[in-house]
Structure formats: C-alpha cells, structure tokens
Chains A and B, each alone.
Chain A
Amino acid sequence: MREIVVLSGKGGAGKTSLTAAFAALARNTVICDFDVDAPDLHILLDPHNTVREDFVSGNLARIDPAACTGCGVCERHCRFDAISQLPDGTRHVDPHLCEGCKTCVVLCPHQAIAFPPRVCGYAAVSDTRFGRLVHARLDPGGENSGKLVTLLKKMARELAKKEGLDCMLCDGAPGIACPVISSLSGATLAVLVTEPTPSGVHDLIRVADLCDHFHLPAAVIINKADLNPAESGRIETFCAEHGYTLLGRLPHHPDVTRAMLAKKTLPEYGGPLADSVAELWGAIDKLARTYARPA
C-alpha cells in the first residue's frame, strides 16, 4: 500500500492541478481530497454516484434562556470567548467560537446548558472517470477539520482493502496545522509542490520540516520554475542538502488555467505539460513503491 499526500504549505502552488493530473495517470488507486476546508479536486474530476454521510463531530453548548439565571459562571470559565451576555442578562453561546469543551455544561449551577452533537459537514465516496474519490466538505466556519481528514483516511483505507486497490493519492490542505498533520498520519510519501518565489520557498521549508518532525519521506516538485531560475537553483540545493528527492520542474504555463477552465486534467488537455506530468508521476510512483507497506 502506498499513501501519497500532495502538500505545499503555501496555497496556489499547484497541488490540486497536479493531484488531478496524477489521478488521471494512476492505476488501481483511491483518490482523496483532504483539503476539506476548500476542496477543489471534484471540479476537475466531476464525481457522480455520490454516497454521502453526515460528519458529526463533537458537541455544541446551547443555553436554555428560560433556565438561565444570568449568574455568569459559564462566561467566566469559557476560554474561547464564546459566551456573551444578552440585554436581558441571560447568556448566549456563539456557535462559531464554541469548541465543545463541555466545561460550561458541567459548571452551570442550574443545568441550563444542553450539549447536542454537531453536524460539521459531510464525507462522501464517489465514482469518477479515474476511479473512486473520497471527499468531504466542512461547513463554512466549521470545526474539527483534522477529525474529518482522519475519517476520510479511514474510509479510503477500507475502500482500498475492499476493492483490492494498492494506492491512495491524496490532495492535502495548505498550511502546516490541524488538517495537514492529520493527513500525514500513516502516509508513506509526501510530495511537496513549491514555486521559486519568496513565499513558496519559505513555506516549503516549513512543510518539509513538518514531514521531518513526523519522520515521513518527502520529495519536491518545483512548479513555475522559470519565474525565477536562480531561486529554483537554490531550492534544488536545499533538497540535495536535506535529502529530499527532487522529482522535477514544471514551467509557469497558461495551459494550467486553460485546462482548469476546460474542466480537464493536464494529461487529458494535452500540450507540452502532459509529457512532463507523466514523467513526474512515473518518478513519484517509483519512489512511493520503495516506501510501500504490506497491504
């Protein structure tokens, strides 16, 4: 089993366009979109036969205004600034700020706070022209993106086992925190997409550091390499010095946007980038096989 997670730290470096391109080339693979906050892979992969389930995670404090005496114990103990006073003196929970810690629920001297489970979005399995897609959507402003990624991972692994698939190709979220850390758990290879810009390089170093932190092998693709050839050279040096495999470079090319507008992946769109992404996928797959674990 190979679990390949495509990351970049910085948004807009090309994670999703490349993951979609690799999805078109991969065989025997479950495709996963772990950018549950702002998922875009479905735009190119056009999922159908979607089976959804609610993502219920954690609970939400809800004060019964009829039972609230306005004593303020809940507000004093809330560390998330989620509780405020209404004009009539009773307290109110802001659902966007509540982290569901239950402290106010147990401390309320009048048992005036309910704690219902909260639906934070959905998880789904769909068919696409390249195989199965496991994807999700966190409700806007939602919490628990890391737990939703963990749920998707479990669904994808079960699906792979059931259908005899030996690869998971995963589009990750930007950043280095909650959902990204969840997507790295149990992964076998991280593919880091970067660009030779000050932000691209800065964010590459931080996401590579995160992979080291979790002892996960990482390999690098330099996208838009021709925007600043000198900086691309420095990225290559950085990879060599730190032991990250350099998978290859891609130019800054208008076909990426054109293909997206045509709702096609790069191999389907054709043109000069199609051969380059095929070479990249060959290199990723070969490298991932060296880290594969028994199914």
Chain B
Amino acid sequence: MIAAIASGKGGTGKTTLSAALASVWAEAHGRPPIAVDLDVEEPNLHLFLRPKITRSETTGLEIPVVDPALCTRCGACRDLCQFAAITILGDTPMVFDDMCHGCGGCMAVCPAKAITPGTRELGVVEEGTAGEIAFLRGKLRVGEAMSPPLIRAVMHRMERLRAENPDLAGRDILCDAPPGVSCPALAAVAQADCIVLVTEPTPFGIHDFKLAVEAFTPLGKPMAVVVNRAGPDCPSFYDFCREADLPILAEIPDDRAVAKAYARGTVLPNVNNAYRALCLGLAASVAKLAGEVRHA
C-alpha cells in the first residue's frame, strides 16, 4: 500500500502527520513502513525520524550536448525545442542547460546525429533507516527549477528497492508530498493508492484545501481528511467535506503543547498517550482507506 500525505497549503502538518504515522505504523500493523520524503524542495521528514543515511546517489536530467564538428547548423533542434533551450547563435550551436526539460526531442530529430546525452544535476536520492523504518528521500539542488523529475527518480528508486529486497517487498509506503496543487504535487501522488489531505480550518487552509480536492479528485483515488489545529468554528468546512464525500479520519486540536513539541522535533505520538492513541487510530484508518481501492 502507498499512502500520500498531501495538502494544498504549506505548513498545515503534512510532515508532522507523516512522521507520526511512520512512528506508530509497526505497532498498528505489525510491520514497519517505508517513509518517503517527496517534498524534494524542502525535505523535512528526516528532522523528525532522524534516519541514518546509508546511501546517497546524485540524480541527473538527460540534456543535450552538441558536437560543433558534426552539427550542420540546420536548425531542426532549435525549431523543435519548446523551451528555448537549444539554438544557434551566429555560427555556434548553444545549449542553455537550465532551460532544458530533458525531453530528448533534439537528439531524436538531429539528422547529423550531432547531439549526444549529457546531464544536469537535479539533486540527490538518499536512503537509510530510522530504527526499523526504511527511509528514502530526494533533495533538490539549490538553484534547480524543476522538481518533478527528481520526485519521479525517488519513486523509481522506491520501486527498485522493493523489487530487489524481499524484506521491503511487503512493506507499506508513506509519502510526504510537497505543498501546492501543481505539477510537483501531482507527480508525488501519482502512484499512491490513497491520498490523505491535511488541512487547518482557517480561511487560507480551507481555500487551498478546496484547490487540492479539485486537483486530486480526477485521479480517482480514495481520499480522506485530517484536520490539524482544529478549533476555529467553521461549519462550512465540515459541510464541504460531507458534500464532497470526504471522510474526516482525525482531528488534531490547536494545542500549544503540540506546536512546542514540533519546535523541538518531537513526533506527535510522543507528546502524550492521548496523541499516541490518536495516531494509532489514524494508522488503522489510513490502511483501511487504501484498502478501499484494492478491493474495489
């Protein structure tokens, strides 16, 4: 099972919840999870799970390298490129590495076979363990604009790990997704069996939550809601969830003790026994939510 923890608005508690679920998953289900940080721009899950990193691999995007001796200056690559990443300036073929989306089109259309694959560093994919929890994350290189290819690289690594390692094959996967509702968020939830949306019942939280529901609903995956910092009276929010048929799996109260624990890097189940019980209940609900698609 793969569960994605997502939200429209940032700072609503995705990482808090991902870390909390990862921490109690073994107790709730009898097997430890694989915790995956797909918020590659600002990965934070490691700050709460404190994994020991055992492997780190640089990941690149395939970009063109032009051999000026073979290039006939025909301009086919320039005419195709939709991202203004390759051109001929004067008599010199030029590649603007940062603009390239890595589509490979220029290499496919070059009649002189003058373009070969090079690479632009996207960031690193790291793996390790936090106790029994297997940990995986991507970390975008500062200055790199495109995060979806690195998100996809982390997910490919996750699949390979499960395929190669019998111990990991049967484990459930918990993915901490990036905020927002555009391409990075969609790339991160693409393989999930279910989506858990974390929101807070404030005007900003509710507005962005509705955007997230609009963005993720067409994917046809089971979705449910965790309300964080519950407290402000917001009947319209609960009406919206009811009408959209989105079950509310848990409500975490707006409690300064939780905020202070978070500020110290403490995971939610360790705040007190009531939160531990809440997290265990939530771990059961999330597995059930994912099961709805498996048996559908």
- On A, residues with C-beta under 8 Å from B are 9-13, 16, 37-38, 40, 43-44, 58-59, 77, 79-81, 96, 99-103, 106-107, 138, 140-143, 145-146, 173-178, 181, 195-199, 202-203, 206, 209-210, 213, 224, 227-228, 231, 252, 257, 260-261, 263
Q: Using an 8 Å CB-CB cutoff, how does the interface string of B82-105 with A read, 1 for contact, 0 for none? A: 110000000000000000011111
Do A146 and B145 form a contact, CB below 8 Å, given A40-B9, A228-B260?
A: yes
Q: Which B183-220 residues have C-beta < 8 A from chain A?
A: 183-184, 186, 202-204, 207-208, 211-212, 214-215, 218
Within 8 Å of chain A (Cβ to Cβ): is B11? Answer: yes
Contact in complex: A11, B9 (CB < 8 Å): yes
Within 96-144 of B, Cβ neighbours of A (below 8 Å) are at 101-105, 108-109, 140, 142-144
Given the known interface contacts A103-B80, A175-B42, A252-B259, the answer about A10 and B101 at a Cβ–Cβ threshold of 8 Å is: no
A-B contact pairs, 6 of them (CB 8 A): A38-B10, A101-B103, A103-B105, A141-B181, A206-B42, A206-B142
Alpha-carbon gap, A16 to B179, bound state (A): 15
Given known pairs A202-B47, A257-B232, the reply for A142 and B182 (CB within 8 Å) is: yes
A100: which B residues are within 8 A, CB to CB? 82
Residue B23 interfacial (CB < 8 Å): no
Q: Total number of A-B contacts with CB less than 8 angstroms?
A: 170
B42 touches A209 (CB 8 A): no
**Min CB gap B288→A, angstroms:** 27
- Other-chain contact of A178, B11, B147, B186, B204 (Cβ < 8 Å): B147
Contact B182 A9 (CB under 8 A): no
Measured between beta carbons, the chain A residues less than 8 angstroms from B180 are 37-38, 173-175
Known pairs A38-B179, A107-B109, A210-B143; list 20 more (Cβ under 8 Å).
A10-B44, A12-B11, A37-B180, A38-B9, A40-B203, A43-B204, A96-B186, A100-B82, A101-B103, A102-B80, A103-B104, A106-B109, A141-B182, A143-B182, A198-B263, A202-B47, A203-B42, A203-B44, A206-B142, A228-B260
Whether A197 contacts B203 by the Cβ 8 Å rule is no
Verify A140–B215 contact, CB threshold 8 A: yes
